[in-house]
């Protein structure tokens, strides 16, 4: 993969001599598969705004992601250029062995252990805006911040978000748009359209020189209805319109801007959930009190859709390692459990994944990890969703999207397959700012 990145860099070097710094708008469409844009006509999709990136800019045929291929670790890689082992965001949800955090996610930027593009841009003298990007609560370097966070969907969530956003920004943009800002828990296309209008208003009023915008409706629909379905296609076509409006707003604010569209992962259909919690309870690795709550644990699954980390209470305990390895091996031996691979510490390190995990389970196509709430049933159960992600990054189905357009970006140029870690340093180079901590060089510039 590194060799292919170097080849792509060499191929573009003649097109991309050093030029003046450019403002950057970074738009993320959660769960956007590259083929949905590249092969849109064949798939019956009408995406005029996204398709324009293929003709007028440069694009990857596929982006290899990180372990696990879920939203929060991936978005942190997109904003840092580092893998989870270095940036510290290991999954969507935080590790919660006693199940007391009410399903809390990695909302807080203080968990990021390396510098971000937001910080790099601010250090380079650029103004920065953000709308709904994951792991952005309290993020340093953001001038105007509408972070992503939710708890229950209760009206108090809006008060919490207003308190965590840049002071006065939500009321200002609500006056400008004539709308109420969407709740953080709202993952529908209507929520995306609302945030798109707020992002356009932010760009128009404040003209940030680096802005990040996150749209989540496609991911939500593909989980619910599956990938390539009429409802998912309808949502993507509406997202295409949001992208068109954001591009127009950015071009009005900064005619010389570079606009990049990314996604965090691909998608795969599922029909089964394999509940490692149930297996660990049965093996005595997790003990419950009479109310069914966790009383004690020696090994705990950390589900991530198509994969699951396993954390040990005593990671250096050889006997415990052997016991957990035996339980996982027995599960894998039964085809009904749908386990494709079990990675140990060495393999996890090679994939630059969660360093606190002693094992990482990858599921076969059609299977995903079950949650603690369903541990009262059997090990194998029908899935709650029709599509998911989170599988090991080697899976072709997990490939994500990268496209970029701007005055000095090569037109109609395929980058081929790239590594997700190369995107942030590429954008840093375009803005002429220094991003410390990125693990790969820039693709362009």
pLDDT value of position 18: 52
Give the tens place of pLDDT for each residue, 150-204: 999 999 999 999 999 999 999 999 999 999 999 999 999 999 999 999 999 999 9
pLDDT value of position 19: 66
Dump strand ranges (E) for 155-257.
210-215
Mean pLDDT to the nearest integer, 222-227: 97
Tell me the HSE value of 42 on the side-chain side, using a 13 A CA sphere: 5
Mean pLDDT of the chain: 95
| Helix (H) / strand (E) containing 428 | helix 423-431
Give the tens place of pLDDT for each residue, 399-442: 999 999 999 999 999 999 999 999 999 999 999 999 999 999 99
Question: Could you count the other beta carbons within 10 Å of the beta carbon of residue 333?
Answer: 9
Crossing angle of helices 217-225 and 189-206, in 10° steps, is 170
Question: Measured on CA atoms in the order 79, 80, 83, 85, is the torsion positive or negative?
Answer: negative
pLDDT band at 10 (very low <50, low <70, confident <90, very high): very low
pLDDT band at 310 (very low <50, low <70, confident <90, very high): very high
Is residue 392 within 8 Å of residue 64, measured between CB atoms? no
261: pLDDT strictly greater than 60? yes
Tokens of 187: 């993952």
Tokens of 189: 């296309």
Its pTM surpasses 0.85: yes
Is residue 233 within 8 Å of residue 405, measured between CB atoms? no
- Tell me the sheet residues that pair with 268: 388
2-267+395-431: what fold? Answer: Alkaline Phosphatase, subunit A (3.40.720)
Tokens of 65: 């992601």
């Amino acid at each position: 993969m590194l060799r292919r990145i170097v080849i792509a860099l060499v191929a573009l070097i003649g097109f991309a001599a050093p030029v003046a710094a450019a403002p950057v708008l970074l738009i993320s469409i959660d769960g956007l598969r590259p083929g949905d844009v590249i092969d849109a006509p064949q798939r019956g999709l009408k995406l005029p705004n996204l398709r324009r990136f293929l003709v007028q800019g440069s694009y990857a045929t596929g982006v290899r992601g990180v372990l696990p291929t879920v939203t929060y670790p991936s978005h942190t890689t997109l904003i840092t250029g580092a893998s989870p082992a270095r940036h510290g965001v290991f999954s969507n949800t935080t590790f919660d062995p006693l199940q007391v955090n009410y399903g809390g996610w990695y909302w807080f930027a203080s968990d990021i252990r390396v510098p971000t593009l937001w910080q790099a841009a601010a250090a380079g003298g650029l103004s920065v805006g953000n709308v709904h990007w994951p792991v952005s609560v309290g993020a340093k370097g953001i001038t105007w911040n509408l972070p992503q966070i939710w708890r229950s969907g209760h009206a108090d969530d809006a008060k919490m978000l207003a308190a965590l956003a840049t002071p006065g920004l939500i009321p200002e943009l609500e006056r400008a748009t004539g709308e109420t800002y969407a709740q953080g828990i709202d993952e529908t296309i209507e929520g995306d359209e609302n945030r798109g209008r707020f992002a356009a208003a932010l760009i128009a009023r404040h003209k940030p020189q680096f802005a990040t915008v996150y749209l989540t409706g496609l991911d939500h629909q593909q989980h619910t209805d599956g990938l390539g379905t009429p409802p998912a296609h309808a949502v993507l076509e509406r997202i295409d319109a949001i992208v068109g409006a954001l591009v127009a707003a950015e071009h009005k604010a900064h005619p010389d801007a570079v606009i990049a569209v990314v996604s965090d992962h691909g998608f795969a259909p599922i029909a089964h959930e394999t509940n490692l919690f149930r297996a660990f309870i049965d093996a005595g690795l997790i003990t419950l009190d009479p109310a069914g709550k966790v009383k004690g644990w020696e090994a705990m699954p950390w589900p991530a859709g198509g994969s699951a980390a396993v954390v040990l209470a005593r990671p250096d305990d050889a006997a415990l390692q052997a016991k957990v390895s035996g339980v996982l091996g027995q599960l894998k031996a039964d085809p009904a459990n749908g386990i494709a691979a079990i990675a140990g510490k060495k393999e996890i390190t090679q994939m630059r994944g969660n360093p606190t995990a002693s094992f990482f389970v990858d599921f076969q196509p059609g299977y995903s990890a079950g949650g603690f709430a369903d541990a009262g049933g059997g090990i194998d159960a029908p899935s709650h969703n029709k599509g998911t992600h989170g599988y090991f990054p080697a899976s072709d189905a997990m490939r994500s999207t990268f496209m970029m357009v701007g005055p000095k970006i090569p037109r109609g140029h395929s980058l081929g397959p790239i590594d997700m870690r190369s995107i942030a340093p590429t954008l840093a180079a375009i803005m002429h700012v220094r991003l410390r901590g990125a693990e790969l060089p820039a693709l362009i510039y």
